[in-house]
Amino acid sequence: MKLVVGLGNPGRKYVGTRHNIGWDVLGEVARRHGTSKPKLRFRGEVVEANLGGLSALLLCPHTYMNRSGASVLAAGDFYKLNTEDVLVVCDDFNLPLTRLRVRAAGSAGGQNGLADVIRCLGTDQVARLRFGIGEPPPAWDAADFVLSKFKKAELPDVQFTLGRAADAVEVWARDGIKSCMNQFNQKTSEE
């Protein structure tokens, strides 16, 4: 069993925001590989999926971003998962727009939802797929920026990268973290 967690915030006002890109990635994975309808469990929404022949649970915590760890811990404990079977998908404003970065472990890098997951699991040895949402413009508060929606001109690139991020989740589940890092940490031709 694999657990893939998409970080975001519940509620209509957060739909389409930069901070909810983790939920958007899981939506694409569910569209491709979901084997159940969404259900409310573990203080979030879950969809069962088949990723490369492996059972997976796609979890979007409904605890709000900064409290995501409680939902992840509940699902992990229920299925008795090791941390190497968990992948967290989140936004990162320290990465250029649409840049993907996969890591096996490390700090939260300023991402509060990831920080809470690390705190609740008691280890930073949890894989993460970061989706670049671009840097806040000058004079913008970082919190306001991550809760803003993508500009119309950015949407085609964001949609394309959502597909690449879903591909990365599949590779992680099927081939492991190293293979995923090798394939998806490459800079794109536009960079």
Catalytically annotated residues: 19
- Of 72, 88, 176, the C-alpha closest to 131 is 88
Cα distances from 48 to residues 12, 40, 65, 117, 158, in angstroms, run 23, 12, 22, 21, 25
Cα(95)–Cα(77) distance, rounded to whole angstroms? 32
Q: How many CA atoms lie within 13 A of 107 on its CB side?
A: 2
179 and 171 Cβ atoms separated by less than 8 Å:
yes
